[in-house]
């Protein structure tokens, strides 16, 4: 990238989260990721540079150990001309969602240059062919069983399903999604198909589909758009069923979507030869902490025999869902067990603020940090070292709970000599595919109190919602019982 020749017209708004904004290049398969700050927050150029390097180091030296070399793309920090940044900032401002504009794009001079993960990462020579990319944010795939949990409902209903009630009540979403992460992480194809179908029907911000890098299906930020499955099927039909006339009529969209779900399930369960270093320590974490089924799931357990519903997991150990789940399960104490450890560390830092660096709360994210994650002991000896280790494991787990899986697909032809492990076959076609992981920023240490309060708010709201529903049902039954029946004599 030649910084002196940067033209803002070659870049377009790609998307943004709470802490960063991304623009993509029109020709090159790259994106620039900028930090975002509130208008009254002034960060120095050095602080921005260090922050970006910490993000890259965490992905490169920590998350890559859990997820594997081929799935994590860390990019590089680049310095950009200030006049280019100011022009680019003005250009993308009109495309930003209003709800995100309380924070401003950083124009101090540094950004991360990363591969565009909506494109194929392993086969750039196929860029001339159509490329579909499906982004899935699976969320937490297990139900906790920590002894520190005070509300038994948390051991029966998954976090995602409980949180849906609060999000709908607040107006973030119009309807409760029938998607349950435990169905996707079950490894059972029936449950996985059911989960993916519900993601397509109520995608919220957990599923997006891109065609040649452009969003065609899903939600941009909190605003619903492009949620017409018939229109999606129109895009996908020539891609999945290249021979025209094979399917038509009212069943066409259903057939196309079913084929897409079959391909996604195959990719998610695909065993990878890319062995992660963390695989040596993670098997000590039980794959299912007592439960692999959420009682709020809309999947009917009668469709399966009881053995399959209660089995620990059906995920192949080399697949991306298995690796993601293993990293998530570093949260062994739940936020209720972790919060007292956070307060222990805070009290210690009040007395010894110079020790913050020793506890690695702000990095560096290197081999020393990774080695500390290997201690899976749950015997609290009351030390600061134990508390700091559990906090770091929790932060890594929370990162894995909020990451996105990017599945890029492009059609192949019979004449090509390609590695068979990179080819996914459907009923009518075969595809080159690449899988990447997005959103791997380490969750901030300072966010722990907020996460503790939010957990309580989610659980309490869910309990109130369920009680209100039960009271309404009971009232209806009583009114039925009191109905006076007059019979003709």
CA 169 to CA 214: how far, in whole Å?
31
Predicted confidence at residue 312, as pLDDT, reads 45
pLDDT band per the 50, 70, 90 thresholds, residue 227: low
Query: Phi/psi zone of residue 303: left (φ > 0), alpha (ψ -120 to 50 degrees), beta?
Result: alpha
Predicted confidence at residue 79, as pLDDT, reads 94
CB–CB of 126/432 below 8 Å? yes
CA 191 to CA 299: how far, in whole Å?
7
pLDDT band per the 50, 70, 90 thresholds, residue 343: very high
- Residues comprising the chain, all counted: 489
CA 289 to CA 89: how far, in whole Å?
47
Predicted confidence at residue 454, as pLDDT, reads 97
Among the residue ranges 9-23, 115-129, 394-408, the one predicted with the least confidence is 115-129
Among the residue ranges 193-197, 260-264, 313-317, the one predicted with the least confidence is 313-317
Residues 6+ apart with CB under 8 A from 472: none
In the predicted structure, residue 260 carries a pLDDT above the cut 50? yes
Tokens of 248: 């038509």
Mean local confidence (pLDDT), 415-438:
75
In the predicted structure, residue 285 carries a pLDDT above the cut 60? no
Question: According to the 3-state scheme, what is the secondary structure of the chain?
Answer: CCHHHCCHHHEEEEEECCCEEEEEECCCCEEEEEEEECCCCCCCHHHHHHHHHHHHHHHHHHHHHHHCCCCCCCCEEEECCHHHHHHHHHHHHCCCCHHHCCCEECCCCEEEEEECCCCCCCCHHHCCCCCEEEEECCCCCCCCCCCCCCCHHHHCCCHHHHHHHHHHHHCCCCCCCCCCHHHHCCCCHHHHHHHHHHHHHCCCCCEEEEECCEEEEEEECCEEECCCHHHHHHHHHHHHCCCCCCCCCCCHHHHHHHHHHHHHHHHHCCCCCCCCHHHHCHHHCCCCCCCCCCCCCCCCHHHCCHHHHHCCCCCCCCCHHHHHHHHHCCCCCHHHHHHHHHHHHHHHHHHCHHHHCCCCECECCCHHHHHHCCCCCCCCCCCHHHHHHHHHHHHHHHHHHCCEEEEEEEECCCCCCCCHHHEEECCCCEEEEEEEEECCCCCCHHHHHHHHHHHHHHHHHHHHHHHHHHHHHHHHHHHHHCCCCCCCC
Predicted confidence at residue 469, as pLDDT, reads 82
In the predicted structure, residue 481 carries a pLDDT above the cut 80? no
Instruction: Return the CATH number of the domain spanning residue range 8-116.
Output: 3.30.200.110
In the predicted structure, residue 71 carries a pLDDT above the cut 60? yes
Mean local confidence (pLDDT), 456-467:
95
pLDDT band per the 50, 70, 90 thresholds, residue 449: very high
Predicted confidence at residue 289, as pLDDT, reads 43
Predicted confidence at residue 3, as pLDDT, reads 57
In the predicted structure, residue 473 carries a pLDDT above the cut 90? no
The pTM assigned to this predicted structure is: 0.88
Mean local confidence (pLDDT), 121-135:
70
Residue ranges of the domains in the chain?
8-116, 133-464
pLDDT band per the 50, 70, 90 thresholds, residue 408: very high
Q: What value does the mean pLDDT of the chain take?
A: 85
In the predicted structure, residue 424 carries a pLDDT above the cut 90? no
Among the residue ranges 114-118, 195-199, 384-388, the one predicted with the least confidence is 114-118
CA 149 to CA 139: how far, in whole Å?
20
């Amino acid at each position: 990238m030649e910084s002196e020749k940067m033209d803002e017209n070659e870049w377009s708004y790609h998307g943004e989260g709470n802490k960063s904004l991304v623009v993509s290049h029109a020709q090159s398969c790259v994106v620039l990721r900028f930090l975002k700050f509130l208008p009254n927050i002034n960060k120095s150029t050095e602080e921005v540079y260090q922050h970006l390097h910490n993000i890259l180091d965490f992905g490169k030296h920590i998350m890559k150990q859990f997820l594997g070399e081929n799935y994590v793309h860390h990019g590089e920090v680049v310095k950009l001309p200030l006049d280019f940044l100011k022009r680019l900032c003005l250009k993308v401002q009109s495309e930003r969602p209003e709800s995100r504009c309380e924070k401003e794009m950083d124009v101090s001079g540094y950004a991360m240059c990363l591969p565009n993960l909506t494109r194929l990462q392993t086969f750039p020579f196929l860029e001339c062919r159509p490329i579909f990319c499906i982004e899935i944010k699976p969320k937490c795939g297990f139900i906790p069983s920590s002894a520190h949990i005070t509300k038994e409902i948390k051991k029966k209903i998954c976090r995602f399903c409980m949180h849906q009630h609060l999000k709908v009540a607040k107006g973030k979403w119009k309807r409760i999604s029938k998607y349950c992460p435990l169905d996707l992480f079950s490894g059972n194809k029936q449950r996985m198909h059911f989960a993916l179908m519900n993601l397509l029907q109520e995608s919220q911000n957990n599923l997006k589909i891109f065609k040649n890098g452009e969003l065609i299906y899903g939600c941009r930020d909190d605003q619903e758009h492009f949620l017409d499955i018939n229109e999606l099927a129109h895009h996908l039909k020539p891609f999945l069923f290249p021979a025209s006339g094979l399917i038509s009529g009212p069943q066409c969209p259903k057939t196309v979507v079913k084929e897409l779900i079959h391909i996604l399930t195959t990719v998610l369960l695909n065993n990878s030869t890319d062995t992660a270093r963390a695989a040596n320590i993670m098997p000590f974490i039980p794959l299912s902490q007592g439960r692999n089924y959420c009682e709020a799931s809309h999947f009917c357990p009668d469709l399966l025999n009881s053995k399959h519903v209660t089995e620990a997991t059906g995920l192949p150990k080399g697949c991306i869902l298995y690796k993601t789940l293993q990293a998530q399960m570093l949260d062994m104490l739940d936020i209720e067990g972790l919060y007292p450890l956070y307060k222990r560390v805070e009290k210690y830092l009040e007395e010894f603020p110079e020790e913050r660096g020793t506890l690695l709360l702000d990095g560096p994210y290197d081999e020393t940090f990774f080695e500390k994650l290997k201690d899976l002991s749950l015997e609290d000896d009351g030390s600061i070292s134990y508390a700091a280790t559990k906090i770091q494991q929790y932060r890594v787990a929370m990162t894995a709970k909020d990451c996105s899986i990017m599945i890029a697909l492009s059609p192949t032809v019979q004449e090509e000599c390609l590695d068979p492990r990179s080819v996914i076959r459907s009923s009518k076609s075969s595809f080159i595919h690449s899988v990447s992981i997005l959103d791997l920023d380490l969750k901030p240490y300072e966010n722990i109190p907020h996460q503790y309060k939010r957990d309580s708010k989610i659980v309490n709201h869910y309990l109130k919602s369920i009680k209100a529903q039960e009271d309404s049902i009971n009232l209806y039954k009583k009114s039925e019982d009191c109905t006076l029946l007059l019979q003709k004599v």
